[in-house]
Structure 1
């Protein structure tokens, strides 16, 4: 329902400029000209709304999940690019030239003034480049911080360039009502960017944290714990995540998303289960106790708080245990009456974290490369394993929460649907897309 609301709100926001333009734009032109203008208007409005989608606004992201919001953002950005690419070519065959006395409504002609055309061309090229960079970020080898800076600056430039192009080159954008509309929408978009890069860091500066401990869990996995400095901590739900910045200014781009592995009932300290993968995570062992840290969050809806199902199934692959560990800890600390089971998969036995705390009751350990005399499950987390762990009744009544490799979640989700588990009882979050 929340996703449906997001889609409807998005469609209203991006099509409203099209409706307003049709009311104030004057006599109709040939179909291909109107289509060209319509696609340009849609592309611009979609780009401006993208600022809101990617702005980490909790009202939006925590309702449907930040992963869903960001996936929607990616799809719509690519759709906007297609509209923008088609926009100029549909004007072919249209007489061109500067403003003419006999055509005050620009019904017959398009401007050839260099300035408004050049800003449109520049935005056209920048948008294509921005989408390509986002799709191929991993392959291009950009550091996350570099990519994020380029993405933010590039989006801002596109918005400003398109504002100029739309107002001065467009037939509809030059109408006073539409000019004010585009100015307002651009202002809101830029404001959302300033919120993320300026206001949020200012709030973080007033609510700092410090590193309380750094503990090695396995050869390449660590537990980082932070404690609040002069404030009560974070109001969050087990299973949520934050953007964590350790040892840098709150205005720094050096922040990364990590799931909270501690439980709200355990107190104000927050713990994170972190695997050595990227530039920051490989330096975890070097972080000193007392190092300043900043948090932005909480985000995500991978939580079982308030749910009415009689049981909770937790399915984790590798470091995907982190948010599920927070949920499990919360269930245990609060004496929650709901039944629960955990499937926890890894490649080798040395990768199993928190085994002593997790225990054996209600926990199924899975290794794809098990040692001799291994008494747990061997192989991968798949439909067959899930069938062995859960009963028919549990498939239909329990809530299933999973986090781990995308291929694992895809396989398990498909199998759960086949076994009759309603989709609203399957909770997962993804942060890697094509």
Structure 2
């Protein structure tokens, strides 16, 4: 793409992220109203407790569909909202799903216990002997299990591959819940209209999930046939990997985005890593620049030219698509400079780059940044030293220091990428300086 194509986007009534969020919320609200209408017309149970159980069952189905949509990796949503935010919403809505399922199951047991004048335990065991109910119990058990291992305290102690494998059980819960829904609930099959509605909405969600998570990645990899074209050591701990393939000019990647990379011949299929592009796509090659933090990333230096690569993406909303101002500030910390370096190559207008590292020796791609800044008339500030050391303490991202480095910072878009603590500190300072939220762009490049 040319520089003109990446100039300031045409101003519209709503920013892209807001438009996508409202579209998603509107779609959910419309379906929520439909579900309420179906409940009011055909949701009455055998007693009042079972009626409440049906209410929660209907909402559990709808929340599950929203959960799946958020992680379907639909390009239109991802480019506008970003995978990090969609994943964060998926996590919190997941706990809503958990409690909705638990309440549905609890009221079912209590309702039938009241109806049969039996104890809740005996009623639960009796329901487990009914195929439709057993499917629902199994689906609920899977959802509860996944919710437990997704709790922050437990999740941090699990390797990503283990957590991901357990999380895939949600798809089993999906299939079990679908069958349970159509075998058990009169609300789902009460009228031809309700049956058509549920089949239609479930079909749309499942098709979106399969298309975004399976069909699109396979199609792109078969089309582009990515392979390693060069491996370049940038420093003792940092390596750049260049990739080439077929028809890369048709790959809809932008500076600032990332892919989920798999190197099957290097460390197996299940090991996947999100790495940002460290250079703007030029239609011929892609480049990632990786810091060694473990055996897998360290071993990328040993990749052989010609090694096939499987990439999912591009993902992320950390792009110039979200610009609102002519001027831009790019703030990077450590290896978080990689998408910032790519954005610098693409952006037009006045640009200031703030690059935070402990020492000059740790500044990855510094020569490239200097060359790009000189060529584009951008200002580059290398901020070194340990935070809090010295008198006065070294706090480069304190509001006062940010304003000193960029006096008109409130009139620019700010892109921030770095360690979470640094990103949070920068965002807090920007808000203290009165920078509008819509001008702050920060994204976490991670799988979960």
**Same-fold status (TM-score > 0.5):** yes
SS in 1 for 2:425: helix
Q: Quote the offset at 1:357 in angstroms.
A: 2.2
Instruction: Determine which of 218, 223, 226 is the counterpart of 2:240.
Output: 223
Q: Quote the offset at 1:364 in angstroms.
A: 1.7
Matches of 2:250 and 2:447, distance apart in 1: 32
Is 1:317 aligned to residue 340 of structure 2? Answer: no
Instruction: Determine which of 25, 28, 31 is the counterpart of 1:7.
Output: 25
Query: Are residues 133 and 111 of structure 1, via their aligned partners in 2, closer, same or farther at CA, if it must alter by over 3 Å?
Result: closer
Query: Are residues 433 and 203 of structure 1, via their aligned partners in 2, closer, same or farther at CA, if it must alter by over 3 Å?
Result: closer
Describe the superposition over 1:134-172 as per-residue Cα deviations: whole angstroms up to 9, x where unpaired.
Answer: 34565333243x5434423x1221112112322333342
Question: Do the aligned residues in 2 keep the contact of 1:159 with 1:186 (CA within 8 Å)?
Answer: no
Instruction: Determine which of 409, 429, 437 is the counterpart of 1:415.
Output: 429
Is 1:175 aligned to residue 193 of structure 2? Answer: no
Query: Are residues 365 and 378 of structure 1, via their aligned partners in 2, closer, same or farther at CA, if it must alter by over 3 Å?
Result: farther
Query: Are residues 155 and 425 of structure 1, via their aligned partners in 2, closer, same or farther at CA, if it must alter by over 3 Å?
Result: same
> 2:420 corresponds to which residue?
406
Q: Alignment RMSD, CA only?
A: 3.2
> 2:227 corresponds to which residue?
210
Q: What are the within-5 Å matches in structure 2 for residues 274-423 of structure 1? A: 274-278=290-294, 280-305=296-321, 307-331=323-347, 336=348, 338-359=349-370, 362-369=379-386, 378-379=394-395, 381-391=397-407, 394-423=408-437
Q: Quote the offset at 1:305 in angstroms.
A: 4.6
Matches of 1:319 and 1:174, distance apart in 2: 54
| Number of aligned positions between the proteins | 408
> 2:34 corresponds to which residue?
16
Moved more, 344-353 or 283-292: 344-353
Q: Quote the offset at 1:176 in angstroms.
A: 4.6
In proportion to residue count, which structure has more helix?
A: 2
Unaligned residue ranges in structure 1 (runs of 5+): 100-109
SS in 1 for 2:252: coil
Q: Quote the offset at 1:116 in angstroms.
A: 1.9
Matches of 1:224 and 1:350, distance apart in 2: 20
Matches of 2:419 and 2:232, distance apart in 1: 24
> 1:103 corresponds to which residue?
none
Q: Quote the offset at 1:378 in angstroms.
A: 4.6
Matches of 2:322 and 2:177, distance apart in 1: 45
Describe the superposition over 1:191-224 as per-residue Cα deviations: whole angstroms up to 9, x where unpaired.
Answer: 3443323453143122211212112223322211
Unaligned residue ranges in structure 2 (runs of 5+): 1-17, 117-125
Q: What are the within-5 Å matches in structure 2 for residues 48-197 of structure 1? A: 48-91=65-108, 93-96=110-113, 114-136=130-152, 138-144=155-161, 146-152=162-168, 154-177=169-192, 178-195=194-211, 196-197=213-214
Matches of 1:37 and 1:431, distance apart in 2: 39
Matches of 2:423 and 2:214, distance apart in 1: 33
Q: What are the within-5 Å matches in structure 2 for residues 40-51 of structure 1? A: 40-51=57-68
> 1:107 corresponds to which residue?
none
Question: Do the aligned residues in 2 keep the contact of 1:368 with 1:380 (CA within 8 Å)?
Answer: no
SS in 1 for 2:170: helix
Question: Do the aligned residues in 2 keep the contact of 1:25 with 1:172 (CA within 8 Å)?
Answer: yes
> 2:7 corresponds to which residue?
none
What's the TM-score once normalised by structure 2's chain length?
0.81
Matches of 1:19 and 1:274, distance apart in 2: 52
Question: Do the aligned residues in 2 keep the contact of 1:96 with 1:111 (CA within 8 Å)?
Answer: no
Q: Quote the offset at 1:312 in angstroms.
A: 0.5
Query: Are residues 408 and 14 of structure 1, via their aligned partners in 2, closer, same or farther at CA, if it must alter by over 3 Å?
Result: farther
> 2:6 corresponds to which residue?
none
Q: Quote the offset at 1:292 in angstroms.
A: 1.4
Q: Quote the offset at 1:37 in angstroms.
A: 1.7
